[in-house]
């Protein structure tokens, strides 16, 4: 990964960082290092010691569960809504998963020790990190169910929609071989799914570049898992009504 100077960068484009309370943000901001991730780069291997947490600002990180025979399958992915390494800040500095870059782009990293301090000393940060970790765990659970119960084409639609959200509508740089590894499917089934989706006018595929042509059609062709995971993360990032000044539930009492 390439580390850049802090000069001229808005380090709060990551939504989880943006949700920090002002006091914590003031302590954290000077220690954030902008970096550029490249597609397929390994951020940390399973069992590796984490020195930093990583907050994507346009890149997407993939968490892979690695089996004894070397096979690996994605169980969750992380975009600008979250971070990789928060478990290390809360409980253990050893990574349970292999983490690779599945969409290249910018991120910032923060020393684990600093986040550990904030976690121990700020109730707001504890609540935020635990809430995010629970939401990420729900994505893992949904992905396990999806991989077990849904077709390759449904799963591929789900995954491409998630990447399309993070890429801002840009073409996605994925080969059939890369998709087969991420989805835990054989390459032939991925190729057949891509051909079916292209024939239906959902995507175009040329030289390892996938462009979504029919977003609504893709959502209809996907399993329910895409919408479920998206709804959970949208809810996590939306403050409760009680936290928004001037917004209250129920009917206000009339003044005497």
Full DSSP string of 117-128:
HHHHH-HHHHHH
Compute CA distances 232 → 112, 124, 152, 160, 161, whole Å: 26, 20, 23, 18, 15
Tokens 């301090």 found at: 117
199 membership: H or E segment, kind and range: helix 187-199
Answer whether 139's CB lies under 8 Å from 197's CB: no
Tokens 């291997």 found at: 45
What is the model's pLDDT at position 236?
81
Which of 58, 59, 29 is closest to 43 using CA atoms?
59
Answer whether 162's CB lies under 8 Å from 226's CB: yes
Q: Is 151-222 in the same CATH topology as 2-148?
A: no
Q: What is the Cα 221 distance to its own chain's centre?
A: 22
Q: Does 2.60.40.1220 match the CATH number of domain 151-222? A: no
> Residue-wise pLDDT tens for the chain (256 aa)?
766 645 444 544 899 999 999 999 999 999 999 999 999 999 999 889 999 999 999 999 999 988 888 888 899 999 999 999 998 888 878 888 899 999 999 999 999 999 999 999 999 999 999 999 999 999 999 999 999 999 999 999 999 999 998 887 778 999 999 899 888 889 999 999 999 999 999 999 988 899 999 999 999 999 999 999 999 988 887 654 443 344 444 333 444 3
Full DSSP string of 12-57:
T-SHHHHTS-HHHHHHHGGG-EEEEE-TT-EEE-TTPBPSEEEEES
Q: Which CATH class is domain 2-148?
A: mainly beta
What is the model's pLDDT at position 247?
42
What is the model's pLDDT at position 252?
38
**Domain residue limits, the chain:** 2-148, 151-222
Q: What is the Cα 154 distance to its own chain's centre?
A: 19
Tokens 């891509």 found at: 194
Half-sphere exposure in the Cβ direction for 94 (13 Å, CA) = 3
Which of 132, 134, 129, 108 is closest to 119 using CA atoms?
129
The total number of residues shown for the chain amounts to 256
Answer whether 136's CB lies under 8 Å from 78's CB: yes
Per-residue pLDDT tens for 31-51? 999 999 999 999 999 889 999
Q: 32 — phi, psi (to 5°)?
A: -80, 130
Question: How many helices and strands (H and E) does the chain possess?
Answer: 10, 10
Tokens 């032939």 found at: 188
């Amino acid at each position: 990964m390439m580390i850049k100077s802090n000069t001229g960068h808005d380090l709060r484009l990551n939504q989880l960082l943006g949700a920090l309370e002002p006091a914590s943000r003031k302590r954290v901001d000077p220690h954030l290092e902008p970096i550029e991730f490249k597609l397929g780069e390994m951020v940390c291997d399973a069992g590796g010691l984490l020195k930093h947490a990583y907050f994507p600002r346009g890149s997407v990180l993939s968490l892979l569960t690695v089996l004894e025979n070397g096979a690996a399958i994605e169980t969750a992915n992380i975009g600008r809504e979250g971070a990789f390494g928060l478990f290390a800040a809360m409980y253990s500095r050893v990574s349970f998963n292999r983490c690779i870059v599945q969409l290249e782009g910018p991120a910032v990293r923060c020393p684990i020790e600093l986040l550990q301090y904030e976690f121990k000393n700020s109730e707001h940060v504890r609540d935020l990190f635990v809430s995010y970790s629970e939401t990420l765990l729900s994505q893992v659970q949904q992905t396990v169910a999806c991989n077990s119960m849904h077709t390759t084409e449904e799963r591929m639609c789900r995954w491409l929609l998630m990447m399309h959200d993070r890429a801002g509508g840009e073409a996605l740089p994925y080969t059939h071989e890369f998709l087969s590894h991420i989805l835990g499917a054989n390459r032939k089934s991925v190729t057949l799914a891509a051909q079916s989706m292209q024939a239906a006018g959902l995507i175009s595929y040329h030289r390892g570049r996938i462009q979504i042509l029919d977003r609504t059609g893709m959502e209809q062709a996907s399993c329910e898992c895409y919408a479920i995971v998206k709804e959970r993360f949208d809810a996590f990032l939306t403050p409760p009504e009680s936290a928004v000044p001037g917004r209250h539930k129920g009917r206000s009492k009339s003044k005497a």
